[in-house]
A and B are shown apart, each in its own frame.
Chain A
Amino acid sequence: MMRQDFALWVYLTQGPLLWLTVTLAAYAVADGLSLRAGRHPVANPVLISVALVGGVLVASGTEYATYFAGAQFVHFLLGPATVALALPLWEHRAVVRRSAVPMLAALVAGSVVAAVSALGVVWAFGAPEGVLVAIAPKSVTAGVAMSITEAQGGDPALTAVLVILTGMIGALVVTPLMDALGIRDYRARGFAVGLASHGIGTARAFQVDPVAGTFAGIAIGLNAVMTAVIVPVVLGWWM
């Protein structure tokens, strides 16, 4: 016969309840810390939550697949949240329409730099071709980035990791970087972080300013299309 406590553990790991609860609890703690830190960029709620959940998984010897069976309900909401970006977009549509020309210019310049600069660095380190392919679309939202990599014959799993890390780096550096540059235009700041660091950068932008969040959301969509067009061209020319 199974021991009682072990039977309970087996029961809990088979349903989504345990890991859904852990995910929400970790975020509640992380968001509280971030709020108490006055939304300081280093107290990033994604980063803190990931560290907390990661710690629990390691300590309990839990596989990621088991964890994801519960966490998938949260993950699923990324799609609806993307649709919801229409709300601030509609609310601020007058500013958005007025900013069309600077946005498109920043889109072209930023999109090319995002792909070429990443390629340039890994190429300078002498990395193999597969790594070049996997890093090229790292600034766009994970689903699109992975399908670009796959179409170019690269490893989508590596791309997924690079995309998430790019999001976290952007969310951490954007505020101090923009302050250092003396940029006070929240349209420009938001657009830049959405373009460079997709949704994780956009989450940061919404913490700072609603207009920044709006422009970051627009940049996610535009850069997904732009990168899908640019990356095959740049890779073809590079290799």
Chain B
Amino acid sequence: MIGSLAVILGCQLLGEVVARGLGLPVPGPVLGMAAMVGVLWLRDRFRPPVLAGVEPAGRFLLAHLSLLFVPAGVGVVGNLDVLAAEWLALSVALVVSTVLTLVVSVVTFRVVARMVGE
């Protein structure tokens, strides 16, 4: 468990260093995800004993992903007054845009999947 957490943090650290060092528009943890894919490739390719237990911490975090958004969510409740002046426009925009984005993305995915012959 601790070892797998250390590997995850190491990947994130590497991602942050690369993202900030090169001024990329990608968040460090997303590059860290790519680094972690590299770690998993190494594990399956060479099977070093040190990487045998690399999954538990990540599995645990993903099982409780909702929990991790609670502090930011509470911040929103306390800051709803920033919406005050334009609350109607913003509420309508968020609902309409989110629904439209979901529909366009899912339909595009399905249509193109069928076009490339699935």
Contacts and interface: CB of A to CB of B under 8 A. Distances in A.
Interface residues of B, number: 74
Contact of B71 (A71, A89, A139): A71
Interface in B18-66: 25-30, 32-37, 39-41, 55, 57-59, 61-66
A142 B72 contact: yes
A121 B70 contact: no
A75 B104 contact: no
Contacts of A27: 64, 66-67, 70
29 contacts: A23-B71, A44-B66, A50-B70, A51-B77, A71-B71, A80-B29, A83-B33, A84-B59, A84-B61, A85-B33, A86-B37, A90-B41, A102-B116, A117-B100, A117-B101, A125-B88, A155-B82, A160-B72, A161-B79, A162-B90, A188-B105, A192-B101, A192-B102, A192-B109, A195-B101, A199-B69, A203-B66, A203-B69, A221-B30
A200 interface: yes
A80 B9 contact: yes
Contacts of A220: 30
Given A121-B97, A122-B89, A206-B65, A106 B26 contact: no
A51 B59 CA distance: 27
B105 A89 contact: no
Q: Which 3 A-B pairs have the closest CB atoms?
A: A84-B58, A110-B105, A125-B89
Contact of B92 (A57, A110, A121, A187): A121
Contacts, number: 310
A183 B1 CA distance: 38
B109 A168 contact: no
Interface of A: 23-24, 26-27, 30-31, 44-47, 49-51, 53-54, 57, 64, 67-68, 71-72, 74-75, 77-90, 98-99, 101-103, 105-107, 109-110, 113-114, 117-118, 121-122, 125-128, 131, 135, 138-139, 141-144, 147-148, 155, 157-158, 160-162, 164-170, 173-174, 177-178, 181, 183, 185, 187-189, 191-193, 195-197, 199-200, 202-203, 206-207, 213, 217, 219-221, 224-225, 228-229
B2 interface: no
A107 B101 CA distance: 10
Interface of B: 5, 8-9, 11-12, 15, 25-30, 32-37, 39-41, 55, 57-59, 61-80, 82-83, 86, 88-90, 92-110, 112-113, 116, 118
B65 A202 contact: yes
B62 A87 contact: yes
A101 B112 contact: yes
B58 A83 contact: yes
B11 A164 contact: no
A75 B8 contact: no
A131 to B, nearest CB: 5
Nearest to A27: B67
Nearest to B29: A82
B28 A79 contact: yes
